[in-house]
Amino acid sequence: MGIKERKETEKSEMKELILKTAMKLFLDKGFNNITIRNIAEKIEYSPATIYLYFKNKDEILYTLRGEGFEKLYEWQKTSLNTNDPLKRLLKHGEAYISFALENPEYYDLMFMMRGPVKNIKETNFCDIGLKSYELLKNNVKECMTQGLFPRMDVDIVAFSLWSYVHGIASLIIRSRGIIFPEEQVNDMIKGSLDFMLKVNYDKNWDTYNKSMNQKPELNI
């Protein structure tokens, strides 16, 4: 059945093309500012064709969101090869933020955009998203068993840390960190993470101050 196979791969290739094109456009102008006709024009098909591959515009979003969660999970796993749990946590946070900043439209779809009203359960957020959350939780647990963290409720601490990196990422994505010049965003992220972990848990503020390779002069 060679033909049937070919048709199937063609179908999924077309789906992929639509998704890729849509994502590119969303990245540029945002989900709400891109029309089905825009996408259709870009891939040189009629608007109606898109509806042969996706039920509606929202389904494109949901699919991309799912892809995003997969990507994020992979991205975060790079932090696992670090042994020290505190350093691993730092790496984890950096990975999370760098994912957000290098894939802002994905991140937007996943965590910032007011989704088309639908119960979240039916999206695959819970399935894959929770895997990432478990990664974080395990890390937090280990920090606690090693006495690096207070023995608080694990979920609270995990949620705290998540909030922290999400806050940083989303403020920057929405240009609320605009008070800082572009080229110092990286320093600020590093500084923020240090503030949370290194500084608070090492408590060697003086040596820390000296070891900081540079203290950016910020002009508000």
Residue 190 interacting with DNA (CB under 7 A)? no
Give dist(CA 111, CA 19) in Å, integer: 19
Q: Which does 3 bind (CB under 5 to 8 A by kind): a copy of itself, DNA, none?
A: DNA
Q: Which does 165 bind (CB under 5 to 8 A by kind): a copy of itself, DNA, none?
A: a copy of itself
Strands (E), 21-137: none
- Angle among Cα 122, 127, 130 to the nearest 5 degrees reads 125
Give dist(CA 43, CA 45) in Å, integer: 6
Which listed residue (7, 29, 174, 176) binds DNA by CB under 7 A?
7
User: Which residue stretch of 46-54, 107-115, 117-125, 212-220 sits at the interface with DNA (rule: CB under 7 A)?
Assistant: 46-54
> Least distance in Å: CB of 209 to DNA?
51
- How many residues sit in the footprint of DNA (CB under 7 A)? 23
Residue 51 interacting with DNA (CB under 7 A)? yes
Which listed residue (15, 27, 42, 45) binds DNA by CB under 7 A?
45
> Least distance in Å: CB of 167 to a copy of itself?
3
Are 16 and 64 in contact, with CB atoms under 8 Å apart?
A: no
Nearest CA among 37, 34, 13 for reference residue 105:
34
Provide the residue count of the chain: 220
